[in-house]
Homo-oligomer: A and B are copies of this chain.
Amino acid sequence: MSSRRTYHHGDLRQAVLTAALDVIATEGPSALSLRDLARRAGVSHAAPAHHFKDRAGLLTAVATEGFDLLAVALGEAADLKDAGVRYVRFAADHPAHFQVMFQPDLHRPDDPDLLAAKERAGDRLRAGVAGLPGGGTRGTDPRLAGVAAWSLAHGFATLLLSHNLEGPIGEQDPEEVFRTLARLLFADDAPQPPGE
């Protein structure tokens, strides 16, 4: 940290973003202060505004980045159950992104970049559901099956991040617990391909 020799920071946008993620992950979004981020980056108090316009702009950028990361993670999923596991893993690995993504009052809901990233992530979600064998959902509306799977993964992830699962599941590995839940609810009474 300390004194910068160059007038230009070089990569202030990224520096502010990562500092913001750090603060949000440890103290929550409400503790975020643009001036504090500026201090951490060693720049003047108004410098971040040039990259993000204002507080809402910064958080919108965080959410956008989050949806893109989520889209990548879901894109690598083998099947729906795996997609759920990756969803939970994403929340655990990127708690700051996750929190901001699903708190619409923190960002500009009409931001075009945000909407596009949201769309990309939504596509991956729907793609995961499309690969479902009919047995798992008993031939019901695939949109419903999608909402069901999304709700389960999202609820588990949210409860995990809000420290509400520390009682019930204790020390166990969250991913493993979620895998069990998915097995429990999405009964694969249709024959699965062998292996694994």
- Chain A positions near chain B (C-beta within 8 angstroms): 27-31, 102-106, 109, 122, 137-138, 140, 143-148, 150-159, 162-165, 167-169, 177, 180-181, 184-187
Contacts and interface: CB of A to CB of B under 8 A. Distances in A.
Contacts of A106: 28, 30
Contacts of A148: 152, 181, 184-185
Q: Copies of this chain, how many? A: 2
Contact of A146 (B155, B163, B168): B168
Nearest to A185: B185
Contacts of A184: 137-138, 140, 144-145, 148
A47 to B, nearest CB: 23
A167 B155 CA distance: 19
